Amino acid sequence: DAGITQSPRYKITETGRQVTLMCHQTWSHSYMFWYRQDLGHGLRLIYYSAAADITDKGEVSDGYVVSRSKTENFPLTLESATRSQTSVYFCASSEQGGLYEQYFGPGTRLTVT
């Protein structure tokens, strides 16, 4: 599991600030995903990427931006953080988009004050 890492692990920011969460994987997996986890909602997909320079929106993409210039990195940016974006964010990767295991990173706990 050391193959997928996230940074920072904890972050406190203020409303309106821009925040970038980093995700890095060493397996050369083609697919990468960002989820948020909130009590009572499970895991909800924010964005995913099928390969470098290919990204697509998930269920809850409003207020978030992603990029994927390199296969191993998939940063998530909150352009103007809001309190409703307080959550635990998980990055994941898989060899294929659907029929293979998704490996999750350790998560980033973000608090927006």
Partner 1 sequence: GENVEQHPSTLSVQEGDSAVIKCTYSDSASNYFPWYKQELGKRPQLIIDIRSNVGEKKDQRIAVTLNKTAKHFSLHITETQPEDSAVYFCAARGISGAGSYQLTFGKGTKLSVIP
Among 105, 108, 110, 112, binds partner 1 (CB under 8 A): 105
- Tell me: does residue 89 bind partner 1 (CB under 8 A): no
Say whether residue 8 binds partner 1 (CB under 8 A).
Answer: no
End-to-end CA distance of the chain: 31
CA–CA dist 50, 53 (Å, integer): 8
Q: Which residues pair with 39 in a beta bridge?
A: none
Q: Does 62 sit near partner 1 (CB under 8 A)?
A: no
- Among 85, 87, 93, 102, contact with partner 1 (rule: CB under 8 A): 102
Question: How many CB atoms lie under 10 A from the CB of residue 48?
Answer: 23
Structure tokens at 24: 């890095």
Which residues of this protein are in contact with partner 1, per CB under 8 A? 1, 35, 40-45, 48, 50, 56-59, 90, 97-99, 101-102, 104-107
